[in-house]
Amino acid sequence: MVYLIDRRMQGKNKSAVNRDRFLRRFKGQVQQAVARAIKERSITDMEKGEKISIPVKDVGEPSFGHTRGGVWETVSPGNRKYVKGDRVPRPAGGAGGQGQGQGGNSDETGEDDFIFELTREEFLDCFFEDLALPDLVKTQLASISEWRSQRAGYTISGTPTNIHVLRSLRGALGRRIAIGGRPQRRLAEAERELIGLLGTPVDDNDERVLALRREIHHLRTRLLAIPYLDPFDLRYSNRIKVPKPSTQAVMFCLLDVSGSMDQARKDMAKRFFILLYLFLSRMYEHTQVVFIRHHTQAAEVDEHEFFHSRETGGTVVSSALTLLTKIVRERYASSEWNVYVAQASDGDNWDNDSEQCLKMLHETIMPAVQYYAYVEITDGPPQNLWHAYEQVAQMHPNFAQQRIVSPADIFPVFRELFRKQPK
């Protein structure tokens, strides 16, 4: 039997195997820390790593100690204060006399919590774990952006199919000029001198004539020895991989904050919006997020107010769609922007307003957006807004709707909304 021990290091002399073992051992503490981080983070910061702290008591190693058992008595020499049978009062401030922690001056030493930093991929794995993500999808969401091949000058080595003929011939011509330039000039001068001598009454066997002929022969032989194309002249087209440039995307988050949308429903909506942001940020280099909250009136807000504001009221969904149309027309009307909309609501809306929403989506919004996803967060039967949106889904293939009942439904719904369509 052969045993293989993986002792590879993972940056800064850290063992990848030990790191994975640590994460498995303290899985519960890491998940609790990640859950706390999710509540405090913004949507746009979700794809970063995280520093988490684990109490020292949770990482301590168990140990066995030896002590005397049973009941035993002892006599301390020099004891003038206590006698047998006296009760010793408990020290103030807890164990250790003055206690330890905030505000204490204990003589005993303590230890700070253990700080551990999760990478981006580890943080995403912990974030997705309670949503029962398939490993394949987790890998895709945590993958790097696509690459494309791009020409990057020339190289002196490569395959024959990548030979650049023009560049190679240009280099060969330059080499021949550089090597044969001086001999070529001297050859022309020697030929002119020979013609001049032969035009005078001199013998063909004259020493000067013979010397010029020998020099001319030597120069011509030297020039003919210069190869027309040398392997040194060959140049090959060079290609490198660069990140594939992507266009810009804007995601509109529409949240119903009417009285029926309690905190649990808002938390499920936030987790759905986080998934959508992570998905888009890996498809597009630049992704912006616009938050719109609405009850009877709609307003563009920041993320904190989007999820934590206590303002509430009735439900008029058309107010959010009207504001959405205005923002797209004023700020994202260029063809460089890909517009995505995600709407979360419990589906309760005025009947006449649902008809107004149907008209706005069909005539104005759907032609301007790439994709519109509506999630109805309710544990009851579908509401009137759901029935109105069913008509939109029949008319526009880039509109989709799903229902979320519990947190376990968040990712299955997300995957259903954004699965690859067959070509």
pLDDT in tens, 147-199: 778 888 888 888 888 888 998 999 889 888 888 888 888 888 888 888 888 87
Task: Tell me the Cα Rg of the chain.
Answer: 40
pTM here is 0.50
Amino acid at 396: H
Distances (CA, A) of 154 to 171, 229, 420: 12, 17, 39
Which residue would you say has higher pLDDT here, 273 or 323? 323
Cβ–Cβ < 8 Å for 359, 325? no
* Cβ neighbours of residue 408 closer than 8 Å, sequence gap 6 or more: 131, 132
E strand map for 257-358:
286-294, 298-301, 337-345
Lowest mean per-residue pLDDT among 137-146, 294-303, 369-378? 137-146
Quickly state the pLDDT bin for 325 (edges 50, 70, 90): very high
* More confident site: 174 or 417: 174
Name which of 370, 372, 377, 371 is nearest 357 in CA terms: 372
Q: What percent of the chain is modeled with pLDDT above 90?
A: 7
Q: Match 């194309």 to its residue by tokens.
A: 229
pLDDT of residue 102: 45
Q: What is the pLDDT of residues 59-109, one digit of tens each?
A: 555 566 666 666 777 666 666 677 777 777 766 654 444 444 444 444 444
Residue 130: pLDDT band with limits 50, 70, 90: low
Contact yes or no for 341/369 (Cβ under 8 A): yes
Average pLDDT of the chain is 76
| Helix (H) and strand (E) counts in the chain | 13, 10
Confidence of residue 35 (pLDDT cuts 50, 70, 90): low
Q: Which stretch of 11-15, 85-89, 131-135 has the lowest confidence by average pLDDT? A: 131-135
Three-state DSSP class for 120? helix
Question: How many other C-beta atoms lie within 10 A of the C-beta of residue 126?
Answer: 22
Q: Calculate the CA dihedral of residues 56, 57, 58, 64 and round it to 10 degrees.
A: 120
The least confident of 86-90, 224-228, 258-262, 401-405 is 86-90
Report the pLDDT value the prediction gives residue 94, as an integer from 0 to 100.
46
Helix orientation angle between 120-129 and 27-40, rounded to the nearest 10 degrees: 90
Mean pLDDT of 384-389: 88
Please answer whether residues 373 and 403 qualify as being in contact, where contact means their C-beta atoms are separated by less than 8 angstroms.
Answer: no
Q: What is the pLDDT of residue 278?
A: 75
Residues of the chain with pLDDT > 70, as a percent, come to: 67
Band (pLDDT 50/70/90 cuts) for residue 282 is low
pLDDT higher than 90, residue 326: yes
Q: How far apart are CA 192 and CA 369, in angstroms?
A: 81
- Determine the pLDDT at residue 134: 46
Asked whether 309 and 291 are in contact (CB, 8 A), the reply is no
pLDDT given for residue 321 in this prediction: 92
Give the 3-state secondary structure of residue 136. helix
Stretch 19-42: mean pLDDT, rounded? 68
pLDDT at 58: 55
d(CA 61, CA 41): 32
Q: What pLDDT score was predicted for residue 96?
A: 43
State which amino acid sits at residue 1: M
Higher pLDDT, 144 or 2: 2
Query: With contact defined as beta carbons under 8 Å apart, do 245 and 265 qualify?
Result: no
**CA-to-CA dists, residue 163 to 156, 237, 242, angstroms:** 10, 6, 22
Angle, helices 410-417/263-281, rounded to nearest 10 degrees? 40
pLDDT surpassing 60 at residue 263: yes
The band of 38, judged by pLDDT with boundaries at 50, 70 and 90, is low
Contacts of 55 (CB under 8 A, 6+ apart): 29, 113, 114
